[in-house]
Amino acid sequence: MSESVTHAAIETVAQDSYGRLIAYLAARSGDVAGAEDALGDAFIAALRRWPAEGVPEKPEAWLLHVARNRMIDAARRKQVQQKSETFLQQITEEAASVAATQEYFPDERLKLLFVCAHPAIDPSAQTPLMLQTVLGVDAARIASAFLVSPAAMSQQLVRAKNKIRDAAIPFRVPEPPELEERVSFVLDAIYAAYTTGWESLMETASTHHALASEAIALG
Amino acid sequence: MKYALLVHQSQEHFDRRNDKAAVAAGRAYAEALQAAGVFVAGAGLDSPRNATTVSIRDGKRQVHDGPYAETKEFLAGFGIIDVPNLDAALEWAARHPAAGFASIEVRPLLGFGSAKA
């Protein structure tokens, strides 16, 4: 298979599944940054191996498998605590069953949205966090949309992800009566994502269309 | 996960902490924490007027009268609870009898992964 075809395939998977893959990995570990690192490694592995080996039948499952192994390695290096042990066991079983039987792995993006827009997260970080983790918009682009320096934006995102992990903000869809209050935070953040998409339309990038329509779909 | 619930309140409310209703509410809350099996530790604190602050600078012990920072609202009590996640901790914080007039700061304890997680 030619390199450009595989690259196109990888790009398609990245566009279609990035947020779902992040949400799936983060919901089980409680660690958004760890999930991003692991998935980044998985994409690098795909760029290296798919041109030679061909695009796997289930590219998402393949990426998930590699990312899961990276997270296991990372957790081992960090002296496994009880929490991550449970996680490792859980994710190993789930990833195995996803790879073996299911066409699709569970969609946890809604939970990820509720985490990004959790009231315990700095309000100014909520929408950027959502854009980065759920929609896969890169930090530099987010920074320019929010008129802050890339360094400041990165720092804000890192701080938010650390809080998610360290304060153990749970990946869950709240139940009533909490739901009503929490949904308003999510909608505010999605609305901000939506306007970012429109304002940047002049910049020609077609992914912004996708950004707005994905914001609509998730809303 | 273990979290500290830190109760910050004003002098005005602090002065009323021994009111019958306040005592009863505090006791009921402590019992609810215990019944739920999430209670680890907790106590009310004496007035910041009775606080003494210690530090070591250049190898020398320095002792000062008073709290670390003089503020209008001060740390009046704390509880430590063991719950699965932040949402559960926030729920317990909201049930604290002082939540209606004081502020409850919720902070994870360092290095205490829960047995329940």
Cβ–Cβ of A168/B84 closer than 8 Å? yes
Asked if residue A11 and residue A86 are part of one domain, the reply reads: yes
> A193 is in which domain, residue-wise?
109-218
Query: According to the model, what pLDDT value does residue A176 have?
Result: 87
A205 to chain B nearest CA, in Å? 38
Is A217's pLDDT higher than 70?
no
Cβ–Cβ of A169/B115 closer than 8 Å? no
The residue with greater pLDDT, A211 or B33, is B33
Cβ–Cβ of B115/A82 closer than 8 Å? yes
Domains of chain B: total? 1
Residues 6+ apart with CB under 8 A from B43: B77, B78
Q: What are A16-26's pLDDT values in tens digits? A: 899 999 999 99
> B65 is in which domain, residue-wise?
2-108
Report if residue B116 sits inside a domain.
no
- Enter the DSSP assignment of A56: -
Residues of chain B by 3-state class (helix, strand, coil), percent to 5: 30, 35, 30
Report if residue B34 sits inside a domain.
yes
Chain A hits for B86, CB-CB cut-off 8 Å, are 118, 120, 167-170
Report if residue B28 sits inside a domain.
yes
Cβ–Cβ of A166/B87 closer than 8 Å? no
User: A100, A134, A151: which is the final residue of a domain?
Assistant: A100
User: A75, A100, A125: which is the final residue of a domain?
Assistant: A100
Q: What residue in A sits closest to B106 (Cα-Cα)?
A: A167
Q: What residue in A sits closest to B107 (Cα-Cα)?
A: A167
The dihedral sign for the CA sequence B100, B103, B109, B113? positive
Asked if residue A135 and residue A92 are part of one domain, the reply reads: no
Residue B74: what are its φ and ψ, rounded to 5°?
Answer: -135, 165
CATH number for B62: 3.30.70.1060
Give the best residue of B83, B85, B116 to mutate against chain A (max A CB count within 10 A): B85
Taking the Cβ of residue B84 and every Cβ of chain A, the question of whether any pair is shorter than 8 Å is answered with yes
Residues 6+ apart with CB under 8 A from A25: A34, A35, A38, A39, A64, A67, A68, A71, A91
Query: According to the model, what pLDDT value does residue A207 have?
Result: 55
Q: What residue in B sits closest to A166 (Cα-Cα)?
A: B108
Domains of chain A: total? 2
Is A82's pLDDT higher than 80?
no
Query: What ipTM was assigned to the predicted interfaces of this complex?
Result: 0.80
pLDDT band at B24 (very low <50, low <70, confident <90, very high): very high
Q: What are A55-72's pLDDT values in tens digits? A: 998 899 999 999 999 998
User: A100, A135, A158: which is the final residue of a domain?
Assistant: A100
pLDDT band at B79 (very low <50, low <70, confident <90, very high): very high
Q: What residue in A sits closest to B90 (Cα-Cα)?
A: A120
Report if residue B78 sits inside a domain.
yes
Cβ–Cβ of A81/B90 closer than 8 Å? no
The residue with greater pLDDT, B23 or A79, is B23
pLDDT band at A198 (very low <50, low <70, confident <90, very high): low
Asked if residue A94 and residue A12 are part of one domain, the reply reads: yes
Angle among Cα A199, A200, A205 to the nearest 5 degrees reads 150
Asked if residue A200 and residue A116 are part of one domain, the reply reads: yes
Asked if residue A122 and residue A82 are part of one domain, the reply reads: no
Is A102's pLDDT higher than 80?
no
Query: According to the model, what pLDDT value does residue A189 have?
Result: 81
B55 to chain A nearest CA, in Å? 28
Chain B hits for A174, CB-CB cut-off 8 Å, are 87
Q: What are A104-160's pLDDT values in tens digits? A: 678 899 999 999 999 999 988 999 999 899 888 888 888 888 889 999 999 999 999
Q: What residue in B sits closest to A83 (Cα-Cα)?
A: B117
Taking the Cβ of residue B71 and every Cβ of chain A, the question of whether any pair is shorter than 8 Å is answered with no
A136 to chain B nearest CA, in Å? 26
Report if residue B113 sits inside a domain.
no
Residue A11, burial from CB neighbour count under 10 angstroms (0-12, 13-18, 19+)? exposed
Is A205's pLDDT higher than 60?
no
